[in-house]
Chains A and B, each alone.
Chain A
Amino acid sequence: MTAISALGFDHVSMEFPGVKALNDVSFDVRAGSIHALMGENGAGKSTLLKILSGAYTPSDGALVIGGERKVFTDTAHALAAGIAVIYQELHLVPEMSAAENLFLGHLPQRFGVVNRRALAAAARKQLDFIGEDIDPWTKLGQLSLGQRQMVEIAKALTRGARIIAFDEPTSSLSDREVRRLFTIIRELKSRGCAIIYVTHRMEEVFELADRITILRDGRHVETSELAHLTRDAVVQRMVGRKLADIYNYTPRAHGGTGLVAEGVCGPGLTEPCSFAAEAGEIFGFFGLIGAGRSELMKLLFGATAKSAGRVTVGGKPFEIDSPREAIEAGVVLCPEDRKKEGVIPVRSVLENINLSARRRKARAGVLIDESWEQSNAKERCAQLRVKTPSVRQLIRNLSGGNQQKVILSRWLSEPVKVILLDEPTRGIDVGAKSEIYVIMQDLARSGVCVIVVSSELPEVLGVSDRIAVMRQGKIAAILDRADANEEKLLKLALPLETARAS
């Protein structure tokens, strides 16, 4: 079979003030094929997709579609050319229903009035296609992050695009949703669509993709058949060096009371939750999305109010009713939903890093200590290798993974006793991930109690000393590192009915 090029990037470059995001990138994507796009945080993947969708106009170069050179200056042009891009950040309207969001911009109408019945039917069909069992009239804001992501995907598919690009679609999906998404993507492939797939998860690439393109610092490194490459080869081309075991787990002595929760109840939990994480321990929380892990973290952090239960930190009662008090007592939370709960988009990297610590460092508790803020921001950026032209850059101009690093580094300048990390490596490249694991271990070694929530099995297994598995709003079991394996964790995490059925 001769390969048909559905889409070509022809010497594409993109410049932002102070940043060359893409530098002379050329490669082809074939029809009926899944094309992985990989690279470190800030390598230019999302920028490339935004050029494809017409959100950005390249400073140089063009797209080649069906043999014709094209430069989109508007997203409408790209839509008309049969292109759909599912962005890294969600672009849905939380106040509107799922159905309205799905067909935003082309709602079915009759005499200029939205035809609610036709809309509901069309939405139902689209939601069925992605296998999501949601009432079309639920307000989007009430859905979980994973469900919202699935709606976003369904939305992109409503216009029958032939070239479809996914930017880290699985970062907020549960395992089951990921499986469903893969089925959908394979279905699209068999219909002859050209698919571009951006991710930082190596196993997804090797499971799904036919070909791969690797970018580094905005430059094209390689495009080839995936069958010709090993994982190590991909990593090496991405980061420019070899990476050994990324978890780099070394046993630590730990002990002494860290955070103890007894019978904690609250919204999102179905049974009282109890566990005791020790000082110096890395305590993992695994579960499917919606199992109540993030809700438990928020209860511990005082972001939502407990309805019952007791928490102690370092043996002392930990009675707080706001995040501010929690932080003052040395307990911090790095939240799951970066866009909604993490970044202040219109402020600089510096301000985002110092958002919390500046209170403690202020002169007389009031005046900003400029020089400390400056040096702290620079230090944190260097520590996590945040890619930004300067600490004065607005954080919204950073790539997704780099924003995540900034949010994480916010807590590294605080003296913490307990750090709650909710999906800390979401959207972060392998190189930076391994650095974050090192930081987590360093924190633990210095006596901090590290509690980490993750939906990535290899990650929880790789970093945790003990693992609590949550299922349907309660803690199902707590396992030692030595006893835990993928199979056990998954079995514990699945809702009982499904577990019995399979």
Chain B
Amino acid sequence: MATDSSPTARKPIAEFFDKAGMLVVLAILFFGCSVFVENFFSLANMKGLALAVSMTGMVSCTMLFCLAAGDFDLSIGSVVACAGVLAAVVMNRSESITLGVLAALGLGAAVGFVNGFVVAKLKINALITTLATMQIVRGLGFIISGGTAVGIGLEDFFGLGNSAFLGVPTPVWITAACFAMFGFILNRTVFGRDTLAVGGNSEAAHLAGIAVTRVKIAIFTAQGVMAAFAGIVLSSRVTSGQPNTSQGFELEVISACVLGGVSLTGGVGSMAFVIAGVLIMGIVQNAMNLMNVATFYQYVARGLILLAAVLFDRWKRRKP
């Protein structure tokens, strides 16, 4: 009887990918680009790459929580734009950086809270809710700015987006800090575990005494604040508030998370993989820019990568 025969060949590979998965893909991709794409592995390009992924990175932290809890949020791109515009307008009127920043963060928190309240308390589907707020907030951005970019008059404010510490741009430091902080929250705190439980089975979580509504509202609010913060950083980098920036940003962030193995049905997600997902998206984009691939083709390529990632995930999870 051959009962002791080795398990089928696929299993060890699948197990390996389960543990290391996207990290390996990332390493291979990075190595490949370094060898084959000219100018990729240069200090200037590395800085540019890091700066380019810093916005997606920041917001993907809270999006990870949102997806892990079984919801998602389409309004973040609009919040980025509207928060940038509001910060610019308030700063110009009040001559105060603090007031501008607080106003923008307050806006983000308010939008996030409304999203959370409608989804968790009124039990409206997250897709519909955030599709609505996405348009409302985009409109607000145009109304506040009068439809055009608002230049910022306070030069001190530009430091946030354009300075560097130890040769690394400040936004990159901020993103790194977010990764560390949210990674810690997800893995080490009751809130993080509760998030995953809510996404895994919200009914069971509720009966086990988890305050499902509160958890969801907190996540959406944090998501709004984070998006607003990204908007502030962006407005500092470009020295103005742009009402039509970051369209499609939400899809970029969700793509990065899905690439990082976060399940769209909730309950599964890890920070390390999301970071890998963010970097993979960034590297692909960066390499395509360096190789002068036309923008139109870049869209196609990004879509294909996402599709491949999801199919790969499916294959990995196929029953033994």
Contact = CB atoms under 8 A, between A and B. Distances in A.
A59 B8 CA distance: 8
19 contacts: A17-B11, A17-B320, A59-B5, A60-B1, A303-B207, A322-B211, A323-B206, A323-B207, A324-B209, A324-B210, A327-B208, A333-B207, A335-B207, A343-B204, A345-B201, A355-B210, A358-B190, A366-B190, A368-B193
User: What's the interface size class on B, roughly?
Assistant: 20 to 34
Given A17-B320, A355-B197, A410-B208, A346 B263 contact: yes
Contacts, number: 98
Interface stretch (A8-16, A193-201, A274-282, A465-473): A8-16
B211 A324 contact: yes
A344 B209 contact: no
Contacts of A303: 206-207
A367 B1 CA distance: 51
A55 B319 contact: yes
Given A303-B206, A324-B209, A355-B210, A345 B200 contact: yes
Contacts of A59: 5, 7-8
Interface in B154-207: 188-191, 193, 196-197, 200-201, 203-207
B210 to A, nearest CB: 7
B2 interface: yes
B268 interface: yes
Contacts of A60: 1-3, 5
Interface string B202-228: 011111111100000000000000000
Contact of B190 (A15, A345, A346, A362): A362
B38 interface: no
Given A327-B209, A368-B188, A347 B267 contact: yes
A356 interface: yes
A108 to B, nearest CB: 31
A180 to B, nearest CB: 29
Interface string A47-67: 000000001100110000000
Given A323-B209, A345-B201, A358 B193 contact: yes
Interface in A423-477: none
Nearest to A373: B193
- Chain B CB count within 10 A is highest, among A301, A326, A335, A346, for A346
Contacts of B11: 17
Given A323-B207, A340-B204, A367-B189, 16 more contacts: A15-B7, A15-B320, A59-B5, A60-B2, A60-B3, A303-B206, A323-B206, A324-B209, A324-B211, A344-B200, A344-B204, A345-B201, A346-B267, A356-B208, A356-B210, A358-B190
Contact of A341 (B193, B197, B204, B263): B204
A323 B201 CA distance: 15
A321 B15 CA distance: 44
Interface of B: 1-3, 5, 7-8, 11, 15, 188-191, 193, 196-197, 200-201, 203-211, 263, 267-268, 319-320
A342 interface: yes
A342 B200 CA distance: 11
A24 interface: yes
A346 B200 CA distance: 6
Contacts of B191: 366
Given A16-B320, A55-B319, A362-B190, A344 B207 contact: no
Measured as residues with beta carbon below 8 angstroms from the partner, the interface class of chain A is: 35 or more
B197 A347 contact: yes
A265 to B, nearest CB: 21
B201 A351 contact: no
A23 interface: yes
Contacts of A55: 319
B84 to A, nearest CB: 33
Nearest to B18: A17
A340 B8 contact: no
A341 B190 contact: no
A485 B125 CA distance: 50
A219 B42 CA distance: 61
A421 B15 CA distance: 38
A176 interface: no
A14 B149 CA distance: 65
Contacts of A410: 208
Given A11-B1, A366-B190, A56 B207 contact: no
A400 B276 CA distance: 36
Nearest to A347: B200
Contacts of B197: 344, 347, 351, 355
Given A15-B7, A346-B267, A355-B197, A367 B188 contact: yes
B208 A323 contact: yes
A342 B209 contact: no
The 4 A-B residue pairs with the shortest CB-CB distance, nearest first, are A344-B200, A346-B267, A327-B209, A324-B209
Interface string A19-38: 00001100000000000000
A13 B3 contact: yes
Nearest to A396: B200
